């Protein structure tokens, strides 16, 4: 051991929260929220809360994959928008066209992801600004597809999204499906390569990992999860809007970090991001139900989020590397 642990850690600019810290935050948020909101556990509140979480959860999973690969996708929100307007134009209120619309949304996510992958991995543009640029392309296209808000999602879809089976909200099941998807991906060679590329691209390249292809795939997966987020949004909103997803982008990054994934890449996972997204949404609820005066609500909200992020700085909660 030539390097003391303290020095080795400085190498990692994006610190990560341990799983324990994220879970602790979630538990705290749930406890506080249910204390402040008397009907927190009744069925409407439960289903409506979960219905609120899904879009951010889905996009956060997508962002996690991209971040793990060492990138960042600032166009995910615009992809959500584009996928949702395409789907809503196709479905046109008819249930039998929903599968086609869903497939189209996934196709859009795939295509957007592929474009980002091309731009970041093949052209080697810096991800933050490159995806900032593609976000203009996607939101512009969304306006072309749906110039003004409109279109409708079949009632069956919006109703089912708000339903529960055996007391379990469908939206919660949707979150579990996202978690399951992640669990499956995690077992695939591609995800291993994504971790390797995000951890050390040069080393991965020298170790026979197809770095460029892996990076492209990371963005494609990001796009696919953005498309899932778009479907959740459609079920949640019942209609199309050419601006609907744009502001999810930055929140997805916050969810990823609260969930313990290092922005530097290579460390973390979507499990934490799912919890992180839920924590973020719950904080908004808490600030509301705590009757914080409107004027101060955004201030408190921002401060609580910074505080949550600051938990990363508490060494006891940090995942320490064993020292050799």
Partner 1 sequence: SSNDGGGSGGSSGAADGKPYTIGLSNGFVGSEWRTQMVKGVEAAFAEYKKEGVVDELVVESADTDVNGQIQQIRNLINRDVDAIIVNPNSETALDAVFREATQQGVKVFAIDQAVTSKDVTNVVIDQAEWARISADWLAKQVGKGGNIAVVNGVAGHPANEMRWNAAKDVFAKAGVKVLTVADGNWDQATGQQVMTNLLATYPDLDGVWSQDGMAEGVFRAVQAAGRVNQIKISGEARVGFMRLWNEARADDFESIGVVNPPGGAVSALHVAVNVLEGKKFAPGKINGNTATIPIPYTVDETNFDRYWGEAGGEGNAYSLDGSLTRDEAAEYFQ
Partner 2 sequence: MSTLLEMTGVRKRYGGVQALDGASLTAVRGEVHALLGPNGSGKSTLDKSLAGTVVPDSGEIRIDGAKARIGGPRDAHALGVAAVYQQLSIVGDLTVTQNVVLGLEPARLWGFLDHRAARDRAVAALERFSAAFSGRLPLDRPAGSLGPGEQQIVEVSKALARKPRILVLDEATASLHKEQVEVLFDVVRELRAAGVLVVFTSHRLDEVFALCDRATVLRNGRTVGTVDLAATSEDELVRLMVGDTPHRTPRPAGAPAVATADAPADAIAGRTAASAAATLEVRGLTTDQLRDVGFTVRAGEVLGLGGLQGQGQSELLLALFGAARVTAGEALLDGRPLPLTSPARAARAGIALVPGDRGRQGMFAHRPIQENLSLASMHRRARVRLALGAAAERRAARSMVERLQIKIGSLADPVSTLSGGNQQKVVIGKWLLDRPRVVLLDDPTKGVDVAAKEEIYAIVRGLADDGAVVILNSSDNRELTELSDRVLVLFEGAIAEELSAEAITETRLVSSALRLAPGESL
Partner 3 sequence: MSAPTVEAPRRVLAWRPGPVALAGAVAVVLVIVGEIVSPGFAEYGQLVNLMRVAAFLGVIAIGQTIVIIAGGGGVDLSVGKVATFAAIIGSRVMDGDDGDIVPAVALALLVAAAIGLVNGLGITLLRIPPFVMTLGMIGVVQGLILAYTGGQASGRAAPALTSLVNGRVILDLPGLLFLWLLLGLLAVWLLRRTTFGWNLFAVGSNRIAAKLTGVRVDRTLILAYVLSATFAGLAGILLLGYTESVFLDLADQYMLPSVAAVVIGGTLLAGGIGGYAGTAVGAVVLTVLQSLLTTLDIGGAGRTVVNGVVLLVLLSLYGRQRRLRS
Ligand X SMILES: Nc1ncnc2c1ncn2[C@@H]1O[C@H](COP(=O)(O)OP(=O)(O)OP(=O)(O)O)[C@@H](O)[C@H]1O
Q: Which two tokens stand for residue 138?
A: 């996607």
To which H or E segment does residue 151 belong? strand 150-152
Any idea what DSSP says for residue 316? G
Contact status: 322 vs partner 2 (CB under 8 A): yes
- The residue (of 2 and 295) whose beta carbon lies closer to partner 2 is 2
Shortest separation between residue 13's beta carbon and partner 3, angstroms: 4
Any idea what DSSP says for residue 96? G
Query: Is the distance from CB of 254 to CB of 280 less than 8 angstroms?
Result: yes
The residue behind tokens 């003391």 is 4
Which residues lie below 8 Å from residue 183, measured CB to CB, with a gap of 6+?
none
Binding segment for partner 3 (CB under 8 A), chosen from 26-34, 79-87, 124-132, 219-227, is 124-132
Query: Is the distance from CB of 19 to CB of 318 less than 8 angstroms?
Result: no
Shortest separation between residue 302's beta carbon and partner 3, angstroms: 3
Site for partner 3 in 286-315 (CB under 8 A): 294-303, 305-306, 309-310, 312-313
Contact status: 10 vs ligand X (CB under 6 A): yes
Q: Exactly one of 284, 304, 317, 319 binds partner 1 (CB under 8 A); which one? A: 284
**CA distances (Å), 237 to each of 52, 230, 234, in order?**
10, 10, 5
- The residue (of 17 and 145) whose beta carbon lies closer to partner 2 is 17
CA distance 32 to 205: 47
Which residues lie below 8 Å from residue 126, measured CB to CB, with a gap of 6+?
none
- The residue (of 164 and 264) whose beta carbon lies closer to partner 3 is 264
> Which residues bind to partner 3, rule: CB under 8 A?
7, 10-11, 13-15, 72, 74, 119, 123-126, 128-130, 132-141, 143-144, 147, 201-202, 205, 211, 250, 253-254, 257, 262-264, 294-303, 305-306, 309-310, 312-313
> Which residues bind to partner 1, rule: CB under 8 A?
37, 39-40, 42-45, 48-49, 51-52, 55-56, 143, 147-153, 158, 162, 233, 235-248, 281, 284-285, 288-289, 294, 297-298, 301
């Amino acid at each position: 051991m030539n390097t003391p642990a303290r020095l080795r850690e400085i190498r990692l600019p994006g610190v990560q929260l341990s799983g324990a810290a994220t879970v602790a935050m979630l538990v705290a948020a749930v406890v506080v929220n249910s204390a402040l909101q008397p009907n927190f556990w009744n069925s409407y509140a439960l289903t409506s809360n979960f219905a609120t979480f899904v879009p951010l959860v889905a996009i956060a999973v997508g962002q996690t994959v991209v971040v793990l690969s060492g990138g960042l996708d600032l166009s995910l929100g615009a992809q959500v928008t584009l996928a949702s307007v395409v789907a809503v134009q196709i479905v046109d209120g008819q249930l039998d066209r929903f599968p086609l619309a869903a497939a189209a949304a996934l196709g859009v996510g795939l295509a957007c992801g592929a474009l980002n992958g091309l731009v970041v991995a093949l052209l080697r543009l810096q991800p933050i600004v490159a995806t900032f640029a593609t976000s203009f392309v996607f939101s512009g296209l969304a306006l072309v597809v749906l110039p003004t808000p409109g279109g409708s999602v079949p009632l069956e879809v919006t109703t089912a999204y708000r339903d529960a089976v055996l007391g379990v909200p469908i939206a919660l099941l949707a979150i579990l499906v996202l978690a399951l998807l992640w669990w499956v991906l995690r077992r695939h060679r591609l995800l291993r390569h994504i971790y390797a590329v995000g951890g050390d691209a040069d080393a991965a390249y020298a170790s026979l990992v197809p770095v460029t292809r892996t990076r492209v795939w990371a963005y494609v997966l990001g796009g696919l999860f953005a498309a899932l987020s778009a479907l959740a949004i459609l079920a949640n909103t019942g209609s199309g809007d050419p601006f609907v997803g744009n502001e999810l982008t930055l929140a997805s990054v916050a969810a990823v970090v609260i969930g313990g994934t290092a922005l530097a890449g290579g460390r973390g996972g979507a499990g934490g991001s799912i919890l992180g997204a839920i924590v973020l949404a719950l904080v908004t609820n808490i600030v509301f139900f705590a009757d914080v005066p409107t004027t101060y609500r955004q201030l408190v909200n921002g401060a609580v989020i910074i505080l949550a992020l600051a938990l990363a700085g508490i060494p006891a909660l940090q995942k320490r590397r064993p020292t050799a």
